[in-house]
Amino acid sequence: MVEITSPEFKANARLAMGDGQLQQALGHVRTNFINKRAEAKANLDEFDELRDSATAIKDHVLEHLDLYLEKYEEKVIASGGHVHWAATADDACKQILDICRSVGAKSVTKGKSMISEEIALNDALSAAGIEPVETDLGEYIIQLRGEHPSHIIAPAVHLNMDQVRDDFIKHHTHLPADRPLNEPETLLREARAILREKFLNADVGITGANFLIAETGTSVIVTNEGNGDLTQTLPKIHIVIASIEKIVPTLEDMSQIVRVLARSATGQDMSVYTTLSTGPRREDDPDGPEEYHVVLLDNGRSSMLGTEFQDMLRCIRCGACMNHCPVYHAIGGHAYGWVYPGPMGAVLSPSLIGVDKAGHLPNASTFCGRCEDVCPMHIPLPKMMRHWREREFEKHLSPMTQRASIRGWAWVAKRPFLYRMMASASARFLWLLGGVNHRIKSLPFAWGWTRHRDMPAPEGSTFMSQWRERQARDAGDL
């Protein structure tokens, strides 16, 4: 299991906000991703219709998931592949290790896969004496640093170039230490040369999947670097690790969703490589793997079906929700404390690791609604975060003081006369406190707010009393 620090979310967030280097790196997320998606959307008249179409396809799949999984399995086997079903993360790791051991694998190249992070596959491989080599540039960089991805499509988005240069100098010791490494381009060329050797020498290649197509038994990866393709083409064995909700019925259903995927993610009209793989090397095929395996992972997803969290299983991992999230912009991905950050992580993580551990994540939202606005699959993320808050409350997981305050507030709110009296007294009090500038510099019980910024003072009277005054004035005018 990846170490979970979600329970320390508040401390993580505080550290992240004080980290100047991280804040500088996050600046790229705040501008680039947002502008590029907006441009891509503006250039496709049918974008919103395609979102509806993609959403409907996934809803249909989830209602018939058992049947499509059976159909998909049948087609994979018919094309000469193997299907392994894994109920938990440990099961998936065991199955993958068994396949690797069957060929005495020493080294495994990997395409980018969040499922692999979820099941902590690298730890399992290393413990078994098999070297896992991440080949996506961002994943490679964070593997050198012993870190986890801070973003689901841009794993090293929390880093600046200087840090990458220092890591390369530290780890690539066979190269002269004084070589020029001052451009992203020279860094990329160096990684390309080193990883090229790894690709050619790997015994097994492991990729994730963006889609599994039931009609043909095909797995699909969507990438820009070409590392996923080298990972799956060159070694003897290709293993696909994918969760059960990745199924789509037909090739045409895939192309509907592909049209919104890259546009929502990087703002490209289409990613560079969309690769459809069906089974192992065929007769008179000059290249490709001799064995093709798919590990189908559940790991808690079937428990989301039929609940208020089912819609989350439509997610296609484009990252648009975190790219547009003011909370993610402020704290980055690592503060969320587990594999999936941002709004999608705030909904998915409690489902997969428990609301007792990840309950803080859905609380870290202003409910501004941007995530839902940009989600290509129309996932009602804010609504689901509210569901998690309710569950957290029901399970008595929130702190005593918070629960007591909410109870106290409810008691007052149910007594309108008392409520109005207290509201008008506190409005008056806060107005006085605001002074001539109408700003409050320090406020008891709200230090968390006023330590970093002033609190705007209210108008001095409540809405109800202002309304009464206005009614009286209007009546007088008549």
Partner 1 sequence: MSQREEILSKVRAAIAPNGNHDERRKNLRTAAIAKADGIIPKLPESKKAIQARFEERAVKADATVVFSKPREVANNIAKYLREHNLPSAIRTGDDKRLKTLLRGYESLLEISHGRTYGDDMVGVSHALGGVAETGTLFMESGKDNPTTLNFLPETHIVVINADDIETSYENLLEKLRDKYGAGEMPRVLNMITGPSRSADIEQTLILGAHGPLRLHIIIVRK
Of the candidates 15, 65, 77, 422, which one interacts with partner 1 according to CB under 8 A?
65
How many residues make contact with partner 1 (CB under 8 A)?
99
Question: What DSSP element (H or E) covers 220?
Answer: strand 218-223
Q: Which is nearer to partner 1, 166 or 469 (CB)?
A: 166
Q: How far apart are CA 385 and CA 356, in angstroms?
A: 14
Task: Check residue 253 for interaction with partner 1 (CB under 8 A).
Answer: yes
Name residue, tokens 């409050």. Answer: 440
Of the candidates 135, 207, 210, 462, which one interacts with partner 1 according to CB under 8 A?
135
**Residues 225-244, interacting with partner 1 (CB under 8 A):** 225-227, 229-230, 233-234, 244
Helix/strand/coil (H, E, C) string of 103-121?
CCCCEEEECCCHHHHHCCH
- CA 441 vs. chain centroid, Å, equals 37
Of the candidates 119, 121, 187, 344, which one interacts with partner 1 according to CB under 8 A?
187
Q: How far apart are CA 70 and CA 244, in angstroms?
A: 11
Task: Check residue 160 for interaction with partner 1 (CB under 8 A).
Answer: yes
Q: Which is nearer to partner 1, 269 or 469 (CB)?
A: 269
Of the candidates 1, 127, 200, 446, which one interacts with partner 1 according to CB under 8 A?
200
Of the candidates 100, 154, 320, 381, which one interacts with partner 1 according to CB under 8 A?
154
Task: Check residue 132 for interaction with partner 1 (CB under 8 A).
Answer: no
Q: How far apart are CA 334 and CA 323, in angstroms?
A: 14
Task: Check residue 406 for interaction with partner 1 (CB under 8 A).
Answer: no
Smallest separation (angstroms) from partner 1 to the CB of 65: 5
CB contact set of 317 (below 8 Å; sequence gap of 6+)? 114, 152, 153, 210, 344
**Residues 304-343, interacting with partner 1 (CB under 8 A):** 305-307
Contact in structure between 64 and 204 (CB atoms under 8 Å): no
The binding track of 69-98 with respect to partner 1, each residue x by CB under 8 A or -, is xxx---x---x-----xxx---x-------
Contact in structure between 396 and 407 (CB atoms under 8 Å): no
Q: How far apart are CA 418 and CA 421, in angstroms?
A: 5
Smallest separation (angstroms) from partner 1 to the CB of 397: 24
Q: Record the tokens describing residue 150, joined without a space.
A: 């801070």
Q: Record the tokens describing residue 93, joined without a space.
A: 């790791």
Q: Which is nearer to partner 1, 273 or 393 (CB)?
A: 273
Task: Check residue 181 for interaction with partner 1 (CB under 8 A).
Answer: no
Residue 335 CA: distances (Å) to CA of 164, 330, 355: 21, 10, 16
Smallest separation (angstroms) from partner 1 to the CB of 200: 6
Residue 412 CA: distances (Å) to CA of 416, 421, 428, 463: 7, 10, 18, 17
Sign of CA dihedral 274, 280, 282, 288: positive
Which of these ranges, 114-122, 270-278, 395-403, 438-446, lies near partner 1 under the rule CB under 8 A?
A: 270-278
Task: Check residue 412 for interaction with partner 1 (CB under 8 A).
Answer: no
Q: Which is nearer to partner 1, 138 or 333 (CB)?
A: 138
Q: How far apart are CA 215 and CA 247, in angstroms?
A: 10
Smallest separation (angstroms) from partner 1 to the CB of 266: 7
Of the candidates 132, 279, 382, 434, which one interacts with partner 1 according to CB under 8 A?
279
Q: Which is nearer to partner 1, 111 or 359 (CB)?
A: 111
Of the candidates 156, 327, 361, 457, which one interacts with partner 1 according to CB under 8 A?
156
Q: Which is nearer to partner 1, 147 or 298 (CB)?
A: 298
Which of these ranges, 13-21, 62-70, 446-454, 467-475, lies near partner 1 under the rule CB under 8 A?
A: 62-70
CB contact set of 175 (below 8 Å; sequence gap of 6+)? 190
Task: Check residue 256 for interaction with partner 1 (CB under 8 A).
Answer: yes
